[in-house]
A = this chain, B = another copy of it.
Amino acid sequence: MHDTYGVLLGLFIVYVAAQVGAEAAMRLKLPAVVGEIAAGCVVGPSALGWVKITEPLAALSEIGAVLLLFSVGLETQVADLRRVGKAALAVGVSGVALPFVLGGGWARLTGFDTPQALFVGAAFVATSAGITARVLHDLGVLGRAESRVILGAAVIDDILAMLLLGVVTALQGAAGVDIPRLLIVLVQALAFVFFIAVVGTRLMRRTSAVLDAPINPHSPLALSLALCLGLAVEAAHLGLAAIIGAFLAGMVIAESRQRHALEKQVQPILSFLVPFFFVTTGAKVDLSQLGSWSVVGTVAVVTLLAVIGKIVGCGVGALSMGRRSALIVGVGMVPRGEVGIIVASLGASAGVFGPKTYAVIIVMSLLTSVIAPPVLKALLAGAPPEPAPEASLLVAVDETGNA
């Protein structure tokens, strides 16, 4: 009975901290994620010490991350990828390549070995479409060409980030092993990702009715969640991050007819479980690591590289739209948010990142998410008005914004 009390007390504190943090952040016009992670820092062992990261809390946090990436996948339709056009493709690809090179290069130069440096590079890559979409939505500019490119590129970005993360974790797991073994791991990983992303989604498009079959009224949801857990397990089994499997499961389900109903049903589950992930992420940050000027300097350098990587990388990809639009797109892609944070926490739990690197990457992710929205607003306020050509996009993006 005593144990029940301890477990529930921990969960209660974490859940309330998340709500208070999110509420405070939103009143300060910051993304809710920033508030939840900051709340985690405050109640965590290195500050107030109200929350210890016990095994049940760690498991809930993992489940939260898995479901979060499942919902990101659920918003990633294969058809959207085809529709985004050349500009978004160029922005997505060059916006992944440059930050990866800058982040990995910085890590290699400051003393990490190559597999570790690649992991750091991966944490620089992923854009959080959710934060930018919210800003664009609030400004009522979702119909602008820049907005469409940003949101299209963010999808490409997510997929490339997952692929990169797959390669990097596989390399990590096989580090020190002979080259043939490493190649087998890599090929397995890539084969898994391509098989699910291509064959799985096609199969689902053709046989979407399977989700309808069972009698149980909650079965489409139950089957989707089972697929999510199953592919997460299989990804982990192949030496990939479990969240990659969850993301792919989301992409597969996104092709089903029940997609919209499922998106709605997944929301309450996310709103219960995802806070455990963000607060735990914050609680793991050892604030004492951030107490020296040298670390503040490192944070500044890393954040600057992360910002430059996206503005230049994405901006170059969008140059065909004109310089001001290219800048808007670049700034819109700056926030790292959830995915960067998940990569950082994977790196920490795999022992790739020490407490200092982990703290630096988390703070970088937070800073990019805090800096970009006001700059984006200022740029858009000064930009010439443009009519909204596709009303349908407003609906699609509104969902992303609320995610």
Contacts and interface: CB of A to CB of B under 8 A. Distances in A.
Nearest to A55: B55
A216 B12 contact: no
Interface in A265-303: 265-269, 271-272
A217 interface: yes
Nearest to A66: B8
A1 B349 contact: yes
Contacts of A223: 19
A268 B16 contact: no
Contacts of A1: 169, 173, 236, 239, 349-350
A15 B226 contact: yes
A59 interface: yes
How many copies of this chain does the complex contain?
Answer: 2
A32 interface: yes
Contacts of A221: 268, 271-272
Nearest to A351: B1
A11 B229 contact: yes
A140 interface: no
A111 interface: no
A185 B252 CA distance: 54
A272 B271 contact: no
A71 to B, nearest CB: 12
Nearest to A22: B216
A56 interface: yes
A102 interface: no
Contact of A269 (B16, B19, B237, B272): B272
Contacts of A7: 59, 62
A12 B242 contact: no
Interface in A59-78: 59-60, 62-63, 66
A118 B170 CA distance: 56
A34 interface: no
A9 B215 contact: no
A105 interface: no
A207 interface: no
B12 A226 contact: yes
A15 B249 CA distance: 16
Contacts of A242: 4-5, 8
A62 B60 CA distance: 12
A214 interface: yes
A8 B56 contact: no
Given A11-B229, A22-B216, A26-B216, 6 more contacts: A1-B239, A5-B236, A8-B236, A15-B225, A221-B268, A266-B268
Task: Please provide the 10 A-B residue pairs with the shortest distance between their CB atoms, ordered closest to farther.
Answer: A56-B59, A5-B236, A12-B229, A218-B271, A265-B268, A55-B55, A8-B233, A12-B233, A9-B233, A268-B268
Interface of A: 1, 4-5, 7-9, 11-12, 15-16, 19, 22-23, 26-27, 32, 55-56, 58-60, 62-63, 66, 169, 173, 214-219, 221-223, 225-226, 229-230, 232-233, 236-237, 239, 242, 265-269, 271-272, 349-350, 402
